[in-house]
Amino acid sequence: MKFAYYPGCAVHSSAPEYGLSCKAISSILGIELIEIPKWNCCSSIDAVYANQPLTSIGLAARNLSLAENTKMDIIVLCGACLLTLSRANKMLHEDSELKEKVNMLLTNAGLNYNGSIKVRHYLDVLTNDVGFSKVSEHVKVPLKGLKVAPYYGCLLTRPPGVTNFDDPEHPKSMDKLIEALGGQSIKYEEKCCGASLVLTDELVMMEMTKRSLLSAKNAGADCIIAACPLCQFNLDAKQSDIQSHYDIKIDLPVLYFTQLIGIAFGLSPKELGLDKNCVSPKRLLKQFQNA
């Protein structure tokens, strides 16, 4: 299976381990990722929209039309990219006047969007196209006894009717993935991490992220897996700030789900960028790796 790969801005800067681990497992699973040439920032939900709504949709649509030229569906790694691109796709389908306006913006670059492609998250492709039994087939190091808390994030499954690949209230795909890798998925209460509030309202974001971290910890998780760079950053990179601010101990490694798959596939920590995660996964790795 081939996809028009849309890495998103974070994968190229603050989330290199996500991109690395993703590429590593994709070649094993037979998912061909062909990076969209000259892709631009999706416009990150309403980061641009708040200032310039039409520009925001135009930015998203530019990527849609670039992918359409390759005749492949887009595959993304980030929740914000997923919502931004999918939502723009939906708006253009439903509002012909808007579509006309946006295509007018794109003609200057020699582009046009007809509405023929879909936007999908990597986890969606894994769940529905590859299938967990195939994933299990490639498991060399079953994660026996590892208690993993799946952090879906807000934008993979919400709002309903946009991505349509898992239940918005009780999603199951990541839980099933953990089980397919031989691990044990932990039930805990997941809440929004606060996303971009990390840049503008750090205190609010920390309160929000803390809730999920504590809940996962209290439920007995050994680690958390995430499917979005912004979620992962707030849970991982900001974990020490949260610990010191609230004077609590959490110490939960936060991996990308692709990294966890890579570990189960027996890939090396280097291939998976495991040295880049802020909260060290060393203890965890000792169980399952020979390094």
Partner 1 sequence: MSKEVRIGVYICHCGGNISDTVDIAKVKEAVKNFKAVKIAETYEYMCSNPGQQMIEDDITKHKLNRVVVASCSPRMHLDTFRRVLRRADLNPYFLEMTNIREQCSWVHDSKEKATEKAISLIRGAVERAYYLEPLIPSTMPVKKDVLVIGGGIAGINASIELADKGYKVYLVERSPSIGGHMAQLSKTFPTFDCSACILTPKMVYTSQHPNIKIIDMAEPIAVKGSPGNYKVSIKVRPRFVDKGKCISCGVCADKCPVKKPSKYEEGLKEEKAIYLPFQQAIPNAYVIDKEHCLYFTKGVCKICQRFCKGNAINFDQKEEIIELHVGAIIACTGYDQIDPSPFGQYSFALHPDIITNLQFERLMLQGLHRPSNGKPPQKVAFILCVGSRCSENSTKGVEYCCKIGCMNAIKHSLLLQKAFPEAEPWIFYTDIRAHGKGYEEFYAKARDHNVRFIRGRAAEVVPNGDGLLVKAEDTLLGMQIEEPFDLVVLSPAIIPSAGTQELAQMLGVDLGHDAFFLERHHKLRPVDSKREGIYLTGCALGPKDVRETTSESMACASKVATFVGQGEISVSPEIAYVNIDKCNKCGNCIKACPVSAIESIPQGVEINSISCVGCGVCVPSCPEKAIDLRHCNDAQLTAQIHGICEDSGTSPRIIAFLENKAAYGSMDLAGQSRLSYPDNIRIIGVPSTGRVSSRHLLHAFASGADGIIFIEGDDSAFKDNQLREHVIQLKKELGAYGIESLRLVSTTTTLPQCDKVIDLFTTFNERISKIGRLLEEKRAKIRKALEND
Partner 2 sequence: MKTETIHEITPKIQDSSFFTEVRKIAERTNFMDCMQCGVCSGSCPARFAMDFSPMQIIKMIQLGLKNIVLSSSTIWICAQCQTCLTRCPREVNIPLLMSSLKNIAIRENIPCKIELKPKFHKTFSEIIKKYGRMHEPELKIKLIKKTSPQDVFHNATLALRLLRKGKIKLLPPKTDQIPDILVLFETASKEEQK
Q: Of partner 2, partner 1, none, which one sits near residue 159, judging by CB under 5 to 8 A according to partner kind?
A: partner 2
Contact residues: partner 1, CB under 8 A: 167-170, 189
Q: How far is the CB of 158 from partner 1 (least distance, A)?
A: 11
Q: Of partner 2, partner 1, none, which one sits near residue 192, judging by CB under 5 to 8 A according to partner kind?
A: partner 2
Q: How far is the CB of 199 from partner 2 (least distance, A)?
A: 5
Q: How far is the CB of 211 from partner 1 (least distance, A)?
A: 11
Q: How far is the CB of 167 from partner 2 (least distance, A)?
A: 10
Task: Select 137 or 189, whichever has its Cβ closest to partner 2.
Answer: 189
Q: Of partner 2, partner 1, none, which one sits near residue 167, judging by CB under 5 to 8 A according to partner kind?
A: partner 1
Both tokens of 40, joined, read 């631009």
Alpha helix locations (H) across 95-143? 96-107, 122-125, 132-137
275 and 255 in contact (C-beta within 8 Å)?
no
Please list the helix, strand and coil fractions of the chain in percent, rounded to the nearest 5, in that order: 50, 10, 40
Q: What sign for the dihedral angle of Cα 247, 250, 256, 262?
A: positive
Task: Select 127 or 163, whichever has its Cβ closest to partner 2.
Answer: 163
Q: How far is the CB of 77 from partner 2 (least distance, A)?
A: 15
Q: Can you give the C-alpha Rg of the chain in angstroms?
A: 19
Distance, CA of 72 to CA of 144 (rounded, Å)? 37
252 Cβ contact partners less than 8 Å away, ≥ 6 residues apart: 149, 213, 216, 217, 221, 222, 223, 224, 235, 239, 279
Name the nearest CA neighbour of 210 among 228, 227, 194, 229: 194
- Decide: helix, strand or coil at residue 97: helix
Contact residues: partner 2, CB under 8 A: 9-10, 12-16, 38, 40-41, 43-55, 58-59, 62, 83, 91, 95, 101, 104-106, 108-109, 154-155, 158-160, 168-169, 191-192, 194-197, 199-201, 204, 207-208, 211, 237, 241, 275-276, 278
Q: How far is the CB of 231 from partner 1 (least distance, A)?
A: 20
Task: Select 147 or 172, whichever has its Cβ closest to partner 1.
Answer: 172
Task: Select 125 or 274, whichever has its Cβ closest to partner 2.
Answer: 274
Phi, psi of 34 (to 5 degrees): -110, 105
Q: How far is the CB of 111 from partner 2 (least distance, A)?
A: 9
Task: Select 147 or 245, whichever has its Cβ closest to partner 2.
Answer: 245
Q: Of partner 2, partner 1, none, which one sits near residue 237, judging by CB under 5 to 8 A according to partner kind?
A: partner 2
Task: Select 23 or 172, whichever has its Cβ closest to partner 1.
Answer: 172
- Measured in whole angstroms, the distance separating CA 244 from the mean position of its chain's CA atoms is 27
Residues linked to residue 224 through DSSP beta bridges, in sequence order: 149, 254
Q: Of partner 2, partner 1, none, which one sits near residue 100, judging by CB under 5 to 8 A according to partner kind?
A: none
55 Cβ contact partners less than 8 Å away, ≥ 6 residues apart: 43, 48
